Chain A
Amino acid sequence: MNSFPINSIRKDFPILKSKINNHDLVYFDNAATTQKPQSVIDSISNYYEKYNSNIHRGVHSLAEKATNEFEKTRTKIKKFINAKSNTEIVFTRGTTEGINLISSSLGKYKFSEGDEIIISEMEHHSNIVPWQMIAKEKNLKLNMINVTDEGKIDLNDFKNIISSKTKLVSLVHISNTLGTVNPIKEIVEICNTNNIISVIDGAQASAHSVIDVQNINCDFYVLSAHKMYGPTGVGVVYGKEKLLEEMPPYMGGGEMIKEVKFSGTSYNDLPYKFEAGTPNIGDVIGFKEAINYIENLGKDQIIQYEDKLRDYAQKELNSIDGFRIIGNSENKIGIFSFTIENFHYYDLGLLLDAKGIAVRTGHHCTQPLMDKYNLDGTARVSLALYNTEEEVDFFVDSVKNLLNR
């Protein structure tokens, strides 16, 4: 524990030196996006300075170098989430595009009228709207698993709403609003015994817990690089090869084809079938450094540090008068959505910003969850590996001062 090199870590993230409104930045909005270490920033500019080139099609040296570096990220993320093969790793723009890829592609052949899809009340809009769209188009029924008052998936409710018509379950691994870690292994097991396709939204989990897709045994796992210290505009769909093989492409264009004739086109092999057009090469390359960064620190060490920080924050936050945390599962990460009696989250967000503290306010793209708890929004503190107990103290003191105003 003591060996977690927090001081040098903070130096690795140049933005943490910023002054915001004459205060040191306290960045507590990590569930929205995390900051990037220098190594990620450098690798992106290095790509543009030294070997910018389009990938896969060139015979020249720059193209070869760019292609190699791009594909190294695929290998890296494959190992990071323990996929079986590189063909199971598809690059996207992010979690949102990933879920849309899955829903559109499966929607073209997998579902027929009256089939059912299950999501939960705690899903991000990215894991609601694509399913609503396909449900509308194909006349499917979309069911939502109840979330308990503490902020946990109601497993009994899940078992009750499964039917012989259930074709797919799409569920968040860790809730961006509640911080709850869902029992996805158990849920996927139920899916697998009932021949139901499982999709896991790993946007919040990828940086804060160990991901092993073979162990989870889900059909799809989706994530965003920018929530794991990597660049924006890059995401991954992991899919079991058998399913990806049979699925039709999501977009048509260059790169995803084998042969194009006006009489018809044959598609490229996996994973390129799903990667039409020039991808976000520089940022995919930068993503590799983000994973390197996490691996060099050690995920177990990171989790240990973050758990301790979570416990500290939970204790300190609860010392604030009128403070109510939304999401009290015993299995959660350092995400605290909260309300303070007689203090609107919008005012709180602006007043904290004046002290250099970045928190998110609003519905966090989880409106059904807000409705469930009868809230129109909350403020949210979300922690990452570079946050400290001192920052938590400063936050708590600042809020207490505001309350005594």
Chain B
Amino acid sequence: MKEMSIQKEIIDDFKVLDGDLEMTLNYLMELGEKLDVFNEKDKKEENIVKGCQSKVWLTYKKSEDKLFFSGDSNTAITKGLLSLLIRIFSGKSCKEILDTKLFFIGDIGLNRFIGTQRSNGLESMENKFRIIALSNK
């Protein structure tokens, strides 16, 4: 149930923007800027998320049975989206990650990132989290 509440939090955070696309994109970029600095050394082939128009890197650390992610992107908006996924998935066990269904994206007015070409970015990011979880199970 915990991941439900994180997604609900995100939806609440975006609510004040009232679906305004420009403000939503700006807010996303701000969120991206707040991500922890990504280690340049980790920008290598095996950490690249395939299928994005922009470049995305994702790594993780395992502590006890929980995974902690860090990531980066060369585009500000994708980095913002990535920061949301990190917020949702970080600190969870592999099983929790695999059990988490994402529903927030349509509720924050970013439907455009699902089901179109652009979305491949989001879907492949999501998949990368799940693949990491699977391989650590």
Chain A: residues with CB nearer than 8 A to chain B? Answer: 21-22, 344, 346-347, 350-351, 353-355, 361-362, 377, 405
Contact = CB atoms under 8 A, between A and B. Distances in A.
B45 to A, nearest CB: 15
Contacts, number: 30
For B20, B53, B74, which residue has the most chain A Cβ atoms within 10 angstroms? B53
Interface in B75-94: 75-78
Interface in B20-56: 20-22, 25-26, 29, 53-54
B25 A354 contact: yes
Contacts of B53: 346, 361-362, 377
A376 B21 CA distance: 26
B55 to A, nearest CB: 8
A405 B33 CA distance: 13
Contacts of B76: 344, 347
A353 B113 CA distance: 14
29 contacts: A21-B21, A21-B22, A22-B20, A344-B54, A344-B74, A344-B75, A344-B76, A346-B53, A346-B54, A346-B75, A346-B77, A346-B78, A347-B29, A347-B75, A347-B76, A347-B77, A350-B25, A350-B77, A351-B22, A351-B25, A351-B77, A353-B21, A354-B22, A354-B25, A355-B22, A361-B53, A362-B53, A377-B53, A405-B26
Interface in B59-118: 74-78
A353 B112 CA distance: 12
Nearest to A405: B26
A354 B21 contact: yes
Nearest to B74: A344
A152 to B, nearest CB: 29
Contacts of B54: 344, 346
A353 B76 CA distance: 15
Nearest to A355: B22
A391 B26 CA distance: 23
A377 to B, nearest CB: 8
A354 B53 CA distance: 18
Given A354-B25, A362-B53, A405-B26, 17 more contacts: A21-B22, A22-B20, A344-B75, A346-B53, A346-B54, A346-B77, A347-B75, A347-B76, A347-B77, A350-B25, A351-B25, A353-B21, A354-B21, A354-B22, A355-B22, A361-B53, A377-B53
Contacts of A353: 21
Contacts of B77: 346-347, 350-351
Contacts of A405: 26
Closest 6 CB pairs of A and B: A354-B22, A354-B21, A344-B75, A346-B75, A21-B21, A347-B76
B17 to A, nearest CB: 12
A120 B12 CA distance: 53
A350 B79 CA distance: 13
B101 to A, nearest CB: 26
Contacts of A361: 53
B113 to A, nearest CB: 10
Contacts of A347: 29, 75-77
A329 B22 CA distance: 35
Contacts of A344: 54, 74-76
Nearest to B80: A347
A346 B79 CA distance: 12
A385 to B, nearest CB: 29
A22 B29 CA distance: 21
Nearest to A376: B55
A144 B53 CA distance: 27
A2 B26 CA distance: 41
B105 to A, nearest CB: 15
Nearest to A362: B53
Contacts of A377: 53
